[in-house]
Amino acid sequence: MPSIPSLANIATRLRIDSVRSTSEAGSGHPTTCLSAAEIVAALFFAEMRYDPRDPQRADNDRFVLSKGHAAPILYAAWAEAGLFPREDLLKLRKIDSDLEGHPTPRLPFVDVATGSLGQGLCAGVGIALNARRIGSAHRTYVLLGDGESAEGAVWEAAQMASFFGLDSLCGITDVNGLGQSRATAFGHDLGPLETRWRAFGWHAIAVDGHDLGQVLAALDAARHTAGRPTMILARTLKGKGVSFIEGKEGWHGKPLKKADEMPRALAELEAQLLAGADVPVAPRLPDGPAPTPDPSTREPLPAPAYAIGDQVATREAYGAALLKLGRADRRVVALDADVKNSTYSEKFEQAFPDRFFQSFIAEQTMIGAAMGLASRGAIPFPSTFACFLTRAYDFLRMAGISRLDVKVAGSHAGVSIGEDGPSQMALEDLAMMRAVPDCTVIYPCDGVSTERLLALMADTPGPAYMRTSRPKTPVIYGPDETFAIGGCKVLRRGDRDVATVVGAGVTVFEALKAHDALAREGVTIRVIDLYSLQPVDAETLVRAGREAGPIITVEDHYPEGGLGDAVAGAVGPHGIPVHRLAVREIPRSGSPEELLDRFGISAARIVSAVDELIAGRSGGRSRA
C-alpha cells in the first residue's frame, strides 16, 4: 500500500494536470475534476488492480467515470499510471486527439462512453454481471456525481445491483454539493443519500472525500462486503485546492484563464506538493484466477425448422432463434424488463438462467447493463415491447457512440398489435433506431428471416435493432434462403410492373395481397421485402424505381423516420418518385385488421394507391 503522502501528491498532480489541460483547451470542467482528485488517486494507485500497459486485460479491475465531464482527471490518472506521456494531456479536446471532452471508447481504457449523466452505474452493473459470466474476480468501480444521482436510471441500477447481490460493484459519489446551475437538492448533507442507498439495499459509507485515509478505508470496507454492492458517499469541495474557486458557484464547466487564473492556481497547487513524498507508486497487477477466455467465433447454426406456410409471429421466432444462438455461442446473454412471456425471451431464460438478467420494469438499466456486458465481451440481447425502448433512448444513443455490440429487439411494433391501443404501439422505433449512428436496423416478416437475421445481427459489429411483430404471419422463405445485412428480397416482379411496393414486417403480406388483387385485374406490381432498413439496399431500390417506378412504401410506423424515409434516402438523388403509406394520426384500440385498414396500410389501401398512380398517369380513372 503506498503511503498517504505519496497518494496526496498524486492527487495534487492530477489537479495540476486537470487545470492545465482545460486551460490549454479553453474549455472543460476543471472544478469537477478537483473535487475528485483524492478519490481518483486512491482508486488508481492504491485500490484497483490493473495493468496500466494493457487497459483491456480481462481481469483488470474496471473503472467507469459516470460523471464524464471529469474526463481530464481520468486522462491524467492514466498518464500518471504510464499509459501515455503526460504532455499528451495538453491535446485535450483537440480534433486530432482521442482525449475528447467526455470519454469515449476511442480510448482503450474507456469501456462505455459517458457524459450523459446517470448512465455509468447501469453500465457498471453490466460489467459486474459480466465478471460473473466469465468467472473473473475483478471488481468494478463507478464514480458518480451527486447531481446525477437525481436521474432515475441511477436508482434503476441501484435496484438491479442489489437484486443480483453484486458485491464486486462499488460506487463512489463525489458529493461536491454543486450542480451545473445551482446547488444540488441536498448540498453537502450526505444523510438523504445515505438513507436512499441503504433503502435500495446497498452498503453505504459516508466519508470526507478529501481525507485519503477515510477514502481508502471505505474502499477496503467495500471490498470486504459480501452479498451487496457498496456506495461510498464522499463529501468534497468543487474546485478543491484552488482557493479562489473552491466551493464556489458559477464555476461549472469553466476553465481557468490561461494568462492569469491558471498560473495562480498552479502556484497554489504546486505549493501543496509534500516534499519527500514522491516515492514511485505503481498500480498493482491483477492477482486473481485468470477468467475463462471467450470464444471469438461461434458454432454454425442449424437451418430454421419452419416450413413455408407455417404461421408464426416474428416475436415468437425471435425467442426460438435466440435460444438456438445461445446454444451455439456462450457470449450470448439476454436481458428482460418483465415482458419475457410476450417477447419470448423466456425460452432463453429457461435454457440459460445464468445468462438471463431480469431488470424488472426498468428499461434504462436493462440497456445500460447490456452496454456494460457488451463492453466486456458478451453479446447481449435486451428486449421489450418496441415502444418501451423509447424509455432508454439516451442509453441507445450512447451505446451507438460507444460502438457496442448491443443487440436490441423490440416486439409489438405498430398498430398491428390491435386492442391494447396507442401507448403499446411502437410507431417511432424505426425513426429512433435509424438515428443511432452505425446501428443495424432489421425488420423481418417471417420466421425464417427472423432466425437468419438474428444470427447476422450477432455477427455484425456494433449496435443492432430487430423489430418484431405481435400477429402470426405465414413463413414465406424456405429454410435455405439467404439474407444479408443491407439486403432485401424482390418477392414479385413482372415485365410490366406499374409500381414498386416496398414493405417490411406485417406490410409485406398486405403488399402481397395487393399484388394478387391487382393481378386479377391485369395490373402487376413489384413487391419488395425491405427486411434491412439500415443499411439499405439502395441499388435494388434504385433499379426497381427505374424499371418499375414509382415506389410506394407501406409501413406500420409513423411516416417520419421509418421505412419511407429509408427508401427516400436511398433513391432520393435519382429523382425517383416515392409515395408513402404510413400511420398518419394517433391510432386507437381496435382489431389489427380494422386498424391496418383505418390507418391506411392495408392491402386495400395499397390497391387504391396504385389505382391513383395509374389514374394520374393515364389522366383517367381506368386501370391497365
Q: Is 608 in the site for a second copy (CB under 8 A)?
A: no
* Residue 51: half-sphere exposure toward Cβ, Cα within 13 Å: 12
Torsion angle of C-alpha atoms 39, 365, 224, 186, degrees rounded to 10: 50
Task: Tell which one of 391, 467, 470, 492 touches a second copy (CB under 8 A).
Answer: 391
User: Measured from the CB atom, is 478 or 577 closer to a second copy?
Assistant: 577
Question: How far is residue 358's CA from residue 335's CA, in Å, rounded to a whole number?
Answer: 6
User: Measured from the CB atom, is 251 or 531 closer to a second copy?
Assistant: 251
Residues 6+ apart with CB under 8 A from 132: 168
Q: Is 227 in the site for a second copy (CB under 8 A)?
A: no
Question: How far is residue 426's CA from residue 175's CA, in Å, rounded to a whole number?
Answer: 39
User: Measured from the CB atom, is 182 or 223 closer to a second copy?
Assistant: 182
Q: Is 138 in the site for a second copy (CB under 8 A)?
A: no
Q: Is 350 in the site for a second copy (CB under 8 A)?
A: no
Q: Per the structure block, which three cell numbers stand in for 607?
A: 390497391
Cis peptide before 550 (omega within 30 of 0): yes
Question: How far is residue 434's CA from residue 484's CA, in Å, rounded to a whole number?
Answer: 17
Q: Is 418 in the site for a second copy (CB under 8 A)?
A: yes
C-beta of residue 567 within 8 angstroms of C-beta of residue 545: no
Nearest residue to 363 via CA among 386, 332, 333, 331:
386
Task: Tell which one of 63, 200, 381, 477 touches a second copy (CB under 8 A).
Answer: 200
Coil, helix or strand at residue 202: coil
| Range list of H helices, 256-313 | 261-271
Stretch that binds a second copy, among 101-109, 134-142, 443-451, 518-526 (CB under 8 A): 101-109
Nearest residue to 398 via CA among 140, 149, 112, 129:
112
Question: How far is residue 319's CA from residue 303's CA, in Å, rounded to a whole number?
Answer: 15
Question: How far is residue 303's CA from residue 306's CA, in Å, rounded to a whole number?
Answer: 9
Task: Tell which one of 88, 268, 310, 346 touches a second copy (CB under 8 A).
Answer: 346
Residues across the chain: 624
Q: Is 375 in the site for a second copy (CB under 8 A)?
A: no
Write out the binding residues for a second copy, residues 553-572 only, by CB under 8 A: 558-562, 564-566, 568-569, 572
Q: Is 8 in the site for a second copy (CB under 8 A)?
A: no
Task: Tell which one of 49, 86, 163, 266 touches a second copy (CB under 8 A).
Answer: 163
What backbone phi and psi angles, to 5 degrees, belong to 202?
A: -100, 155
Task: Tell which one of 130, 364, 524, 602 touches a second copy (CB under 8 A).
Answer: 364
Shortest spacing between CB 582 and a second copy, in angstroms: 10
Question: How far is residue 468's CA from residue 172's CA, in Å, rounded to a whole number?
Answer: 39
Task: Tell which one of 534, 544, 596, 602 touches a second copy (CB under 8 A).
Answer: 534
DSSP letter for 289, please. P
Write out the binding residues for a second copy, residues 287-306 only, by CB under 8 A: none
Q: Is 443 in the site for a second copy (CB under 8 A)?
A: no
C-beta of residue 262 within 8 angstroms of C-beta of residue 24: no
Q: Is 427 in the site for a second copy (CB under 8 A)?
A: yes
User: Measured from the CB atom, is 199 or 282 closer to a second copy?
Assistant: 199
Shortest spacing between CB 191 and a second copy, in angstroms: 10
Q: Is 542 in the site for a second copy (CB under 8 A)?
A: no
Shortest spacing between CB 172 and a second copy, in angstroms: 18
Q: Is 535 in the site for a second copy (CB under 8 A)?
A: no
Active site residue 560: no
Q: Is 339 in the site for a second copy (CB under 8 A)?
A: yes
Q: Is 148 in the site for a second copy (CB under 8 A)?
A: yes
Q: Which of 80, 151, 349, 363 is catalytic?
A: 363
How far is CA 423 from each of CA 178, 237, 412, 427, 594, rounded to the nearest angstrom? 38, 45, 11, 10, 18
User: Measured from the CB atom, is 63 or 306 closer to a second copy?
Assistant: 63
Strand-pair partners of 169: 140
Q: Is 617 in the site for a second copy (CB under 8 A)?
A: no
Residues 6+ apart with CB under 8 A from 453: 442, 444, 466, 483, 485, 531, 532
Shortest spacing between CB 452 and a second copy, in angstroms: 25
Task: Tell which one of 42, 81, 332, 398 touches a second copy (CB under 8 A).
Answer: 398
Stretch that binds a second copy, among 126-134, 424-432, 442-450, 516-524 (CB under 8 A): 424-432
DSSP codes joined into one string, 64-107: EESSGGGHHHHHHHHHHHTSS-GGGGGGTT-TT-S--SS--TTS
- String marking each residue 56-95 x if it binds a second copy according to CB under 8 A: ------------x------------------------xxx
C-beta of residue 541 within 8 angstroms of C-beta of residue 567: yes
Q: Is 416 in the site for a second copy (CB under 8 A)?
A: no
Coil, helix or strand at residue 411: strand
Stretch that binds a second copy, among 3-11, 355-363, 503-511, 514-522 (CB under 8 A): 355-363
User: Measured from the CB atom, is 479 or 569 closer to a second copy?
Assistant: 569
Q: Is 618 in the site for a second copy (CB under 8 A)?
A: no
Nearest residue to 386 via CA among 425, 348, 346, 353:
425
Task: Tell which one of 220, 278, 299, 585 touches a second copy (CB under 8 A).
Answer: 585
Q: Is 257 in the site for a second copy (CB under 8 A)?
A: no
Number of residues that bind a second copy (CB under 8 A): 118
Catalytic residue ranges: 363
